Amino acid sequence: MSDANPGTHRERADGSDSPAQVTGAEWWRHAVIYQIYPRSFADGNGDGIGDLRGIIDHLDYIDSLGVDGIWLGPVMSSPQADHGYDVADYRDIDPIFGTLADMDDLIAACHQRGLKITLDFVPNHTSEAHPWFQAALAAGPGSPERDRYLFRPGRGEHGELPPNNWRSVFGGPSWTRVIESDGTPGEWYYHLFAPEQPDLNWRNPDVLPEFSDVLRFWLRRGIDGFRIDVSDAPMKDPGFPDTADEQPLIPKDEASGVHDIYRAFRTVFDSFDGDRMAVVETGAPAEIVALFLRPDEMNLAFNFSFTRSPWDADAIRDAITSALAANDAVGAPTTWVTDNHDMPRSVSRYGTSLRLVGEYVPALDQQAEVDVALGIRRHRAMALLMCALPGTVYLYNGQELGLPNVDDLPEAVLQDPVWERSGHTERGRDGCRVPMPWSGDEPPYGFSTNRQTWLPMPQGWGHYTVENEDADAESMLMLYRRALSLRAIHPGLGRGAIRWLEAADAVLALEVASELEPVVVVVNTGGTPAPLPAEIPVGITILSSDPTVPTGSNVVEIPADATVWLRRP
Ligand code: NOJ
């Protein structure tokens, strides 16, 4: 176990003495973490919704991918208004996912396999069902209970207008008026997201101790770290002024106090043994995000630059160089992300000209034709690029199977609050949350024993099942397994400094440094084969995203929409 603060007392987690647990210092600097969207991974109890038992039953599969750990989407008690991003009890598991005992089993089962387990942590807002919010409603204006949230009187003669003009990121106003205990309309409360997700007042002295204690609760149970939801948002401009663009004013600078929150969380993590970590989620520009990664704050931040870049060599190169520069400046590793539960799956994004609509929750332009086969080729190419780059890779469940987005879910089954809040103008994120296909040729493809899955699964997904891809040497699943197993043993892949090589238009070429053997990574984003960089006109294939280029073969050109890992002859 690393011990950054010798001499200080450090708590041990229940599961931390398991001999198989990975304990390398700062393991998160070059890890591969598999994101599980709990309701969509595997259903263990036949109710059509994924759960903790389902995950435990499929841990061998996760282990077989060659990842270092998992990030589990929110599983704490929640009315599920935003599928768990509305927490009513931060110290319990929601019954749809299981029990605390199931979670303890999952932690132990992960650690037995040497897998890290990280949890989603949602400090910006609670559920409206949280006891604090219920107490705030009951206690009335001016009370200490109300001060834990952001209640304000309305504007207008009778307070009938919201306190300012800020819009919710899910659409509609970001204020909701409450009915006071005497039955009359009263104050308004602020919610960055849905009305069921009231924002906490992080200037209230009760909030930080409570959330620090919640972290301790999970760290004691053996949790290795957290993904912190909307990390940059806890501090709103206290004047709540109107803004020209109706966007909220959420300062992220030192003066805002937001960084003090993360320094306090850091001291909590450091009071435990092991390298407990956190990855921050923020959509802010890279230089702002890097502030959260200073040595006394958090460890990683999602780098969403790939999710916003089109399939274009220059755009991808810029995405890489700007992210590395911003993080290098604070000594933090960079993360590489193409997919998660908030955006259309990249197979579909890469299978069309990127036309995203919707700001916070982008969706593919419904008019756009998606060429899934092309999207899969490009995703394979992207997978090899990501796995070579220095830093930590996040994979979203189903990505390793090459699942496309499901863009034709019937309107009647849509569940994302975005659908209602946008007045049925934005379909929201359900299309990337359809359950995982495990086996067979018909829905529910081994995901559940129940044909009624929480979102319907499409016909024709038989070739995407784990069972099918397991048996196909050229599947996406096998490509990820090969890439991750090479990454795990090669000292340069995922760790080495990179050097850009001169290359033809539409080609991205870089060398990953390694004392043993540098790896040359060449990505061709063009639609026709392209020559290797002039500096290395011939290479020997280590791994290719295009199955027509066998490992060990000499290559002089890269096929269209492909990436090849090469060594010099
Ligand atoms: C970001 C999460 O990824 C998203 O799914 C959620 O809706 C919002 N934060 C609100 O918690």
For the chain, domains (ranges, CATH) are 23-124+201-470 (3.20.20.80), 131-190 (3.90.400.10), 497-567 (2.60.40.1180)
**Packing angle of the helix pair 258-270, 207-220 (nearest 10 deg):** 30
* Half-sphere exposure for 381 (CA within 13 Å, toward CB): 30
Candidates 234, 211, 215; CA nearest to 149 is 234
- Is 245 a catalytic site residue? no
**What's the whole-model pTM score?**
0.95
* Half-sphere exposure for 374 (CA within 13 Å, toward CB): 15
Percent of the chain with pLDDT over 70: 93
pLDDT tens digits for range 83-115: 999 999 999 999 999 999 999 999 999 999 999
What does the angle CA 17 – CA 18 – CA 21 come to, to the nearest 5 degrees?
105
CA distance 166 to 402: 38
**381, containing H or E segment:** helix 372-388
> Is a pLDDT exceeding 50 seen at residue 18?
no
Cα 305 to ligand 1 centroid, rounded to whole Å:
18
Classify residue 507 as exposed, middle or buried by CB count within 10 Å of its CB (0-12, 13-18, 19+): buried
CA distance 282 to 447: 31
- Is 281 a catalytic site residue? yes
**Pocket around ligand 1 at a 6 A CB cut-off:** 82, 85, 122, 193, 229-230, 281, 341-342
pLDDT tens digits for range 388-435: 999 999 999 999 999 999 999 999 999 999 999 889 988 889 999 999
pLDDT tens digits for range 245-255: 999 999 999 99
Cα 477 to ligand 1 centroid, rounded to whole Å:
27
**73, containing H or E segment:** none
Sort strands 392-396 and 335-337 into parallel, antiparallel or unpaired.
parallel
List the single range of 14-18, 25-29, 190-194 with lowest mean pLDDT.
14-18
Predicted local confidence at residue 360, as pLDDT: 52
Predicted local confidence at residue 10, as pLDDT: 60
Cα 162 to ligand 1 centroid, rounded to whole Å:
24
Classify residue 308 as exposed, middle or buried by CB count within 10 Å of its CB (0-12, 13-18, 19+): middle
> Is a pLDDT exceeding 70 seen at residue 361?
no
Pocket test for ligand 1, best of 86, 191, 230 (most atoms within 8 A of CB): 230
What is the number of residues in the chain? 569
**Minimum CA distance residue for ligand 1 atom 5:** 342
Which of the following is catalytic: 102, 281, 430, 511?
Answer: 281
Which of the following is catalytic: 120, 229, 275, 561?
Answer: 229
Torsion-angle region of residue 219: left (phi > 0), alpha (psi -120 to 50) or beta?
alpha
Amino acid type, 212: S
Confidence of residue 23 (pLDDT cuts 50, 70, 90): very low
